Structure 1
């Protein structure tokens, strides 16, 4: 990958959270930063952050599930003369369980969290190959550990990590390095953007109501300052920048000690009993 100051990175899902913080961090580091989001009318927070940081961004509309992804990425490479890195960050939270979920909602979750990543990556590969670039995807500890009431979301993240781990050695033969970043709890708008009415969901959960109540109480406690250990989006973005600019891109990077411990337990848990022993406690068992 080029080490010059003209390096160009495209980031998806930059209207808030990790995507916003990463766009600012990349621009501060001297990258030409193309910050994309599905709806650019939601760019106020990003514009304000860029102004506060004294950096310039190329903000563009990009729906990762839309039909114009390839055209949009081609235009970025053409206008900036290169594309050195792509950071797949766009995603959507989804809370529910299979008996109660609408199949269309499950499909929509997988569409944005998995197929959106694949569509952007597919369009970007020719440009990354031309520049010895890097393809980095913001996954989650949910890409290594299945979590209660997150079946569809974790399924999509597991799929992303399996896809990227399979792609990594093949991409390396043409000069492209591939990696995933796994945050744990983050104090961002991601969960809020799931648009879940928790009381209504519990009321409609039927036999799953006690388990869902226990799970929600656990999640809420994680985000309380005196009991939880969530990272900020800026802290995650700092880790993203470290791996993006490292001499060798590691395939899998956790962003905190909590994330490393959590993922490590899963990766070493050959029969699944350790993980399920833990996650059963999340639902009151």
Structure 2
């Protein structure tokens, strides 16, 4: 048992999830750091030890594509700590390709992790977040605001998550739960490396799309050479976790804000939330 606020984070074996787990523990939160394969926890545990917060981080198995795994993990956390104060949906999967050549299977796979996984975790956590007046934070992407070439599956899933959370936010607020989406731009993390993209193979198989794909890859490689750190992105997540009144929408860098502003005038989501919250407000008698 712990008197600390308790946060469950998905996808913590590397990158933003790892950095967020360490940062939340440094902020004094009892951190349940989850990942599909707990055998990959070494980097997280090393970072926690180095930061002096190993005692506040507990690693648990959670596969966001397995409803039983999600339910078991959430229920165990509540049984052990008596409460769940926040959830950070971070686990994700990317895919590079265009629909004519990829077909539907990769799209379904990416949606399963990036969208349905988030929905399933949210479903399991909401009763406990409602009980604690907690926080639901979801790492989306600037790709959830602006569609990007050869990222049709990834951006579709992130658009779906943003729509789901924007719709949920005013409803969740009526029962005391804050909902926030966090939108990183390019982040120098193992997420990119984990996609195991065979660039030469992609270009060789791209056919009529090869010139466009080559341009996209060259541009993207440049962007990731100047990317934000995982720790920088995690800092924005922790701000949303600890702020008294967190906004609905948070960009993690000045680049992400500038890029998103080409489409969003309502950068922090307050104008949309003001409108939709009025739809579920209790009438004054």
Provide the residue aligned with 2:39 in structure 1.
Answer: 41
Q: TM-score, normalised by structure 1?
A: 0.90
Measure the CA separation in 1 of the matches of 2:82 and 2:141.
32
Tell whether 2:267 aligns with 1:266: no
| C-alpha distance in structure 1 between counterparts of 2:89 and 2:109, whole Å | 17
2:231 corresponds to which residue?
Answer: 234
How far did residue 5 of structure 1 move?
5.7
Gaps of 5+ in 2: 267-285
Mapping of residues 184-195 of structure 1, within 5 Å: 184-195=185-196
Taking structure 2 as the reference length, the TM-score comes to 0.90
Q: Distance in 2 between matches of 1:50 and 1:162?
A: 34
CA–CA distance in structure 1, aligned partners of residues 180 and 117 of structure 2: 16
Structure 1 residue 223: Cα displacement: 2.6
Q: Indicate the SS of the match to 2:67.
A: coil
Q: Report the aligned-residue RMSD.
A: 1.3
| Match of residue 240 from structure 2 | 243
User: Counterpart in 2 of 1:280?
Assistant: none
**Counterpart-to-counterpart distance in 2, 1:231 and 1:129:** 33
Contact 1:143 1:155 in 2 (8 A): yes
Partner SS, residue 147 of structure 1: coil
What is the distance in 1 between the residues matched to 2:25 and 2:135?
Answer: 17
Q: Deviations over 1:5-46 (max 9, x none)?
A: 610000000000000000000111110000000000111100
> Would the aligned equivalents of 2:140 and 2:162 in 1 still touch at CA under 8 Å?
yes
Number of the residue aligned with 1:65: 65
The SS at the match of 2:123 is helix
Deviates most, 36-45 or 64-73? 64-73
Map 1:149-228 to 2 at 5 A.
Answer: 149-224=150-225, 228=226
Contact 2:203 2:213 in 1 (8 A): yes
Cα distance in 2 between the residues matched to 1:97 and 1:43: 33
Give, in whole Å, the separation in 2 of the partners of 1:184 and 1:171.
27
Q: What is aligned with 2:273? A: none
Which residue is equivalent to 1:84? Answer: 85
Alignment partner of 1:253 is 2:254? no
Shift of 1:268: 4.5
Where does structure 1 differ by over 2 angstroms across 4 or more consecutive aligned residues?
A: none
The offset of 1:71, in angstroms, is: 2.1
Distance, in Å, in 1 between the alignment partners of 2:81 and 2:3 is 13
Alignment correspondent of 1:55 = 53
1:202 Cα offset (Å): 0.7
SS in 2 for 1:267: coil
| Distance of 1:157 and 1:175 partners within structure 2 | 25
Match of 2:121 in 1: 120
Shift in CA distance, 207/268, structure 1 to aligned 2, threshold 3 Å: farther
Decide whether the 8 Å contact of 1:5 with 1:30 is kept in 2.
Answer: no
The match for 1:7 among 5, 25, 44 is 5
Unaligned 5+ segments in structure 1 are 270-285
